[in-house]
Amino acid sequence: MIEKDDLRAAVGSGLLTEKQAADLISLSDSRRGARENLSPGDEPFELFKGFNEIFIVVGLTILAFGWFGVVGLALGDRIVDLKQYAAVVALTGAGVLWLLSEYFVRKRRMIAPAIALSIMFAGNAAFGFLTQMTHLFMIPQSDFSSVPLPLLLATLSLLIYWWRFRVPFAMAMIAVGLFSVAIVFAASRGGQVEEIGDLFLLSAGGPFAWITLVLGTLVFAVAMFFDMSDPHRVTRRSANGFWLHVVAAPALVNTIALSLLDSDRDGILLGVLMLFAIVAIIIDRRSFLMAAIGYIVAIAITLLDGDGAAMTVLILGVVLLLLGAFWERIRAWILRLLPGFIPLHRLPPSQV
């Protein structure tokens, strides 16, 4: 095993530059944890490294509640304007969260605290901008005309946070933030949502389903950009792709599956679902397929009745078990059938 002293010696002898040595150390650090003991072909996934990270997340949660309580008591008698109060809490809270992220994320490289801090930062930014720039507390909630801009600013703030700390989970929240901005903007321009299905049915009168389909495709494209820049999945770019696939898959399946179900095109729906499965296998993303199938199960339970729902869930369970058991063999077989113009060198290599 090459130690850091060996790398220092290599830099001193001129064999490596300081940048090359730093990049090699960073690559080695990124492979530790969930990637270190993975079997060949498995998909990296890590929420925490140990119970100490859970301990710190609990501490951060308690700290957040204590922070709001202390600030509320300290400023309650002095500030009567809710907007001013929210601005003070949001700005100072964002600063504290940023400093905590500098230690727990950049220095300690902790995973669970990084997720918790990114969620808190996103909530803090959204709360501050929404309270300061909208009138939701003064007029009926159905008026969303002032909401898109502060939501967009909160999403951009989260993008800056990701740029600084490179927390992969933040990419999923950025994608969700963009969905929220687009949906609320469409609603503020006169779009009406009579029921939740209108958000995903292409046959519905509003633009919501098309927004979901277009944004889902764009999020999938960005996820593939990250994946293809790291086919061996040894850096955080792969983790960014993982979380973006988790957002993209339900958005795409929501729109396509519900629209086909509504038009009674069950045969086409089955073909589309098979296409989703093949795409997930080719790009070697179980997360993409899991998010899609999870939504399909929800559709089966809520929209189908009796034996139809039970049979659908049973078939999906069998399919998942077969894919889990023979994923690599199925993937190797499919990759051999692909045409030559597909850049297989930019995809994870087959282990079979």
Read off the pLDDT of each residue in 281-302 and give the average, rounded to a whole number: 76
For residue 139, the model assigns a pLDDT of: 47
Read off the pLDDT of each residue in 100-110 and give the average, rounded to a whole number: 90
pLDDT tens digits, 16-45: 887 787 777 766 665 555 455 555 556 666
Per the structure block, which two tokens stand in for 100? 């905590």
Maximum pairwise Cα distance, the chain: 73
- Provide the residue ranges of all domains of the chain, joining segments of one domain with +: 42-162, 191-352
Start-to-end CA span in the chain (Å): 27
Place of tokens 């939740």: 196
Compare 227 and 78 and report the one with higher pLDDT.
227
Give the C-alpha separation, 202 to 305, whole Å.
23
Find the range with the poorest average confidence among 68-72, 94-98, 265-269, 344-348.
Answer: 265-269
E strand or H helix that includes residue 37? none
Per the structure block, which two tokens stand in for 25? 């150390």
For residue 212, the model assigns a pLDDT of: 84
Q: Rounded to whole angstroms, what are the CA distances from 149 to 131, 135, 153, 240?
A: 12, 13, 6, 25
Per the structure block, which two tokens stand in for 214? 């277009």
Position 286, amino acid: R
Do residues 44 and 242 touch, judged by C-beta distance below 8 A? yes
Do residues 86 and 55 touch, judged by C-beta distance below 8 A? no
**Cα of 329 vs its chain's centroid, Å:** 28
Find the range with the poorest average confidence among 21-25, 93-97, 125-129.
Answer: 21-25
Give the C-alpha separation, 119 to 162, whole Å.
11
For residue 144, the model assigns a pLDDT of: 65
